[in-house]
Amino acid sequence: MTRVMFRNAMIWDGTGADAFPADLLVENGRIVTIARTPGQLSGDGATTVECRGMTLMPGLVEGHAHISFGGAIKDSDLGLIPPEEHLLLTMRNAKTLLDHGFTSAYSAATSKLRLDIVIRNEINAGRLPGPRMRAGSPEITVTGGLGDERQQHMYHESFGMIADGVEEITKAVRLCCREGADNIKINISGDDLSPAAHGGLTVMSEAEVMTAVSVARDFGKKINCHARAAGSVKRAVKCGVDVIYHCESADEEALDALESAKDRIFVGPAIGIIYGTLYEGEPFGFTHEMAVKFGMQRILDDSRKVYTELRKRGVRALIGGDYGFAQTPQGTNARDLKHFVDLLGYSPSEALQCGTRLGGQVMGLGDELGMVKEGFIADLLLVNGDPLKDLDMMVHEKNLVVIMKDGELYKDQSASLAAQRQAA
């Protein structure tokens, strides 16, 4: 039996309540006891982590993971990576996410069909370090949609899986289910950086979306979509999509639709890539002027309005900003927390709940993941400082003193930190 005792922690439990001092005992992967009077709990036979008042909180959940994306400037760059290198890249990214405190990842899409799936299987078998994962399908897209980079005279691979009409969509979704995807992804709207279909267009028909949802349901899978245009958001809600990404062009009717489905759906602004392209894209060829021309400032402004409204209406939003592009490197995913505060108007506590408690819910484990609660899965971070006072600290590995996944100490620097303090 693996027992780990966290002594003298300040627990931020993910409910939104203030942090409180406590001791906490983990046994066999679960949080078994939280003792609010420190010093009362017996840690016999347990490995003890002296927390010295540091913050103990739930592990982060990446709500828009693309663990097979790495350093792409153009979408089509992902298609150029040979499968062998791509698998290794995906494996490294999985470790990078866990190293940065992401103990779970809800995939928004993979860039080749089996990449997420095989890495998830290896992680589950204990052979590779990485977050617990819901593996994504590739982005199922229609001819001319986001992820179709082909030209009439020349084939170009990208990250999309192209399918048109009810029959092809049915077959594509079934194929992804057969191979083991947990989440199916469909691109209902275009995208501002997409060659043929811009973000204001709704290019996947209602019949196609309805089919994708119904086939995903037949196999017991979740379904995500890319939806920038208001019409795409409405179509997603109407057809029963579970996780609706972007949504920044939602009009009043779309906002009402999202609100009406708030107990069932999640939204995700994927704001990191917008910020990264606007302000940090220069080394990769995106001058600020170009980014504005491609609509990034408008998306940022619209996102602020729409997510302020969605927050007030109680629609659950997930962190995850399309990390894995050149301007949004893997490992910086926790920047979304501060982006939620600075760019979208969330409070620090609300932003952290989006990255923990709501993350547990979208993983399909809302009653056992994403909070520090007795009986819950012991995915925990010990953070050297108070994240609510400075969310930026969550981005830096050195501040994550302990990373525990499934009750196992993946990283524990509590003793060496104490020794350093002693020496100082």
Tell me how far apart the alpha carbons of residues 225 and 244 are, in angstroms, rounded to a whole number.
5
Choose one: 38-46, 176-184, 318-326, 379-387; the region binding Zn ion (CB under 5 A): 318-326
Letters for 89-108 (x = contact with Zn ion by CB under 5 A, - = none) are -------------------x
Report yes or no: 247 and 267 within 8 Å, Cβ to Cβ: yes
Q: In this complex, which beta carbon is closest to Zn ion, that of residue 26 or of residue 135?
A: 135
395 SS3 class? helix
Residue 68 or 414: the one with the smaller Cβ distance to Zn ion is 68
DSSP class of 106: E
* Min separation Cβ 321 and Zn ion, Å: 9
When asked if residue 248 is in the footprint of Zn ion (CB under 5 A), the reply is no
Site membership for Zn ion, residue 242 (CB under 5 A): no
* Closest distance to Zn ion from the beta carbon of 303 (Å): 14
CA distance 414 to 6: 10
| Type and span of the H or E element at 384 | none
How many binding residues for Zn ion (CB under 5 A)? Answer: 2
Q: How far is the CB of 247 from Zn ion (least distance, A)?
A: 13
CB of 66 to Zn ion, least distance (A): 6
- Distance, in Å, from the CA atom of 355 to the CA atom of 359, rounded to the nearest integer, reads 6
Which residue is it, tokens 């593996």?
Answer: 135
CA-wise closest residue to 250 among 263, 264, 268: 268
Between 103 and 224, name the residue whose CB sits nearer to Zn ion. Answer: 224
Decide: 318 and 359 in contact? Cβ < 8 Å: yes
Distance, CA of 39 to CA of 8 (rounded, Å): 8
Mark the segment that binds Zn ion (CB under 5 A) among 207-215, 217-225, 314-322, 407-415. Answer: 314-322
Q: Which two tokens stand for residue 381?
A: 């971070």
Q: State yes or no: residue 322 binds Zn ion (CB under 5 A).
A: yes
Whose Cβ is closer to Zn ion: residue 12's or residue 102's? 102
Local structure of residue 293 (DSSP, 8 states): H
DSSP 406: T
Minimal distance, residue 69 CB to Zn ion, in Å? 8
Task: Report the residue number, 108 or 209, with the smaller CB distance to Zn ion.
Answer: 108
Site string for Zn ion, 269-308 (x = CB under 5 A): ----------------------------------------
Q: Which residue spans within 54-107 are E strands per DSSP?
A: 55-58, 60-65, 102-107
- Smallest separation, CB 189 to Zn ion (Å): 12
Contact predicate 35/46, CB 8 Å:
no
Sign of the CA dihedral running 214, 220, 225, 231: positive
Span of 70-78, 119-127, 193-201, 320-328 interacting with Zn ion by CB under 5 A: 320-328
CA–CA gap between residue 244 and residue 183 (Å, rounded):
12
Q: How far is the CB of 317 from Zn ion (least distance, A)?
A: 15
Residue 32 has, within 13 A of its CA and on its CB side, a CA count of 15
Q: Which stretch binds Zn ion (CB under 5 A): 202-210, 212-220, 322-330, 366-374?
A: 322-330
Smallest distance, Zn ion to C-beta of residue 318, A = 12
Nearer to Zn ion, 78 or 258 (CB): 78
The structure tokens listed for 104 are 């779970």
State in angstroms the smallest separation of the CB of 322 from Zn ion: 4
Of the candidates 29, 27, 22, which has an alpha carbon nearest to the alpha carbon of residue 7? 22
Side-chain-facing half-sphere of 164: CA atoms under 13 Å: 6
Minimum CB separation of residue 226 from Zn ion in Å reads 7
In the complex with Zn ion, the residue whose CB is nearer, 108 or 184, is 108
- Cβ proximity to Zn ion: between 63 and 129 the closer is 63
Q: Which token pair is 278?
A: 């606007």
Where does this chain bind Zn ion (CB under 5 A)? 108, 322
